[in-house]
């Protein structure tokens, strides 16, 4: 998983940058040079991984997901790869099935992001606590403060946490709106328009957040979420 690798690599780069600052160049020139070369190599490697994830791996995965989503909704095989045990509802109309699949998707997304957010909050709080200790310490030099600022306000720390929280809140909102739509049973035209509106909202939200859901959490939560989805289907008669 490129996202998992990026997070781990970012943490290692932060550690190397601190070591580079602590190792005196005059006293230990060899170690300082080794750390400097390693730091440059890791930064370039992280850049390449991030670029490949944004321009290749993530779009490719999202394309497969959308193809599978539409294949199940319209019963037209856009791809030979089909998910098993997913998108299972008894509705017959294509728009009706899209609405049900969207409800299922948003259920999984809001639950997984909620679990992911707990870990991210702890990490950001730890980053912030260390950052405060550094900037409040009178002995901290400017280089150390600069490194701490780069770590905290980087793409992989505070920014990621904020985007993850935003994705969680938006997916919860979409789930609630689609759930209420099934409960209120609007007329056919309104149902179709609302479904497409919610679908576009969901897809644009995921694209804007740029967060890849944890496959490890998906596998761990899948049994309980599948049970919850079965209960929701019975309640809403879908």
Q: What is the pLDDT of residues 85-114, one digit of tens each?
A: 677 787 889 999 999 999 999 999 999 999
pLDDT over 80 at 79, yes or no: no
The whole-angstrom separation of Cα 121 and Cα 113 is 12
b (16+ CB within 10 A) / e for 201-211: bbbebbeebbb
Q: Do 7 and 214 touch, CB atoms closer than 8 A?
A: no
| Residue 29: Cβ-neighbour burial (10 angstroms; 0-12, 13-18, 19+) | exposed
pTM recorded for the entire structure: 0.83
Determine what percent of the chain is predicted with pLDDT higher than 70.
Answer: 96
Residue of 101, 92, 91 whose CA lies nearest to 68: 101
Residue ranges with strand state E in the chain: none
- The pLDDT tens digits for 160-218 are 999 999 999 999 999 999 999 999 999 999 999 999 999 999 999 999 998 989 889 99
- Tell me what the pLDDT averaged over the chain comes to: 88
What confidence score (pLDDT) does residue 162 get? 94
What confidence score (pLDDT) does residue 133 get? 85
What confidence score (pLDDT) does residue 13 get? 84
Q: Taking the CB of residue 230, how many other CB atoms lie within 10 A of it?
A: 11
For the chain, give the number of residues: 238
pLDDT over 90 at 27, yes or no: no
């Amino acid at each position: 998983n490129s996202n998992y690798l990026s997070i781990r690599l970012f943490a290692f780069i932060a550690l190397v940058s601190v070591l580079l600052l602590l190792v005196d160049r005059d006293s230990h020139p060899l170690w300082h040079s080794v750390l400097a070369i390693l730091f440059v190599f890791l930064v370039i490697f992280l850049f390449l991984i991030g670029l490949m994830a944004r321009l290749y791996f993530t779009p490719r995965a999202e394309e497969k997901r959308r193809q599978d989503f539409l294949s199940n909704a319209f019963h037209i095989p856009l791809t030979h790869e089909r998910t098993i045990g997913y998108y299972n509802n008894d509705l017959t109309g294509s728009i009706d099935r899209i609405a049900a699949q969207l409800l299922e998707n948003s259920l999984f997304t809001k639950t997984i992001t909620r679990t992911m957010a707990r870990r991210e909050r702890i990490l950001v709080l730890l980053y912030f606590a260390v950052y405060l200790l550094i900037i409040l310490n009178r002995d901290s030099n400017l280089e150390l403060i600069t490194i701490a600022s780069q770590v905290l306000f980087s793409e992989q720390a505070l920014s990621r946490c904020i985007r993850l929280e935003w994705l969680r809140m938006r997916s919860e909102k979409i789930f609630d709106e689609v759930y209420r739509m099934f409960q209120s049973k609007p007329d056919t035209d309104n149902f179709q328009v609302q479904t497409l509106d919610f679908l576009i909202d969901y897809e644009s939200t995921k694209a804007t957040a740029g967060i890849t859901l944890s496959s490890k959490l998906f596998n761990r939560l899948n049994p309980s979420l599948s049970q919850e989805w079965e209960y929701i289907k019975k309640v809403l008669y879908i």
